[in-house]
Amino acid sequence: MSKLVGYRWFSGRTVIGIVLRYDEITEEFKAYICAVNGITEEHDIKYISDWGTAFPLKEAGSLIETYGTIVDKELLNTNNGDNSNKDSN
């Protein structure tokens, strides 16, 4: 299971979204990017999470914090989207 942390939309001829999620099983942040049809925000976020291409965490976190929508600020501040602090146990 994963929790939505935040997202950012880029619109022109095509709608492109970046989604940042926290995977509760692996205890890691994961970011995805994908073009979507712009059906509904909820549908498009799910589509990106399911079918998107992996996107660099640092860049995703920066874009979402600066220009996007943060859904779970507390979770984002846990380690600011940085998986390198994860315990190796």
Q: For residue range 58-80, what is the model confidence (pLDDT) as tens digits?
A: 999 999 999 999 999 888 887 55
Q: What is the spatial distance between Cα 72 and Cα 4, in angstroms, rounded to a whole number?
A: 7
pLDDT of residue 77: 81
**Residue with the larger pLDDT of the pair 33 and 87:** 33
Instruction: Give the global pTM.
Output: 0.85
- How many domains are contained in the chain? 1
pLDDT of residue 67: 96
Within a 10 A sphere around the Cβ of 23, how many other Cβ atoms? 13
Q: What is the spatial distance between Cα 15 and Cα 44, in angstroms, rounded to a whole number?
A: 10
Q: For residue range 4-30, what is the model confidence (pLDDT) as tens digits?
A: 999 999 999 999 999 999 999 999 999
- Nearest in space to 52 (alpha carbons), one of 36, 37, 32, 38: 32
User: Which helix or strand (DSSP H or E) is residue 46 part of?
Assistant: helix 41-51
pLDDT of residue 75: 87
- Residue 56 structural domain: 2-85
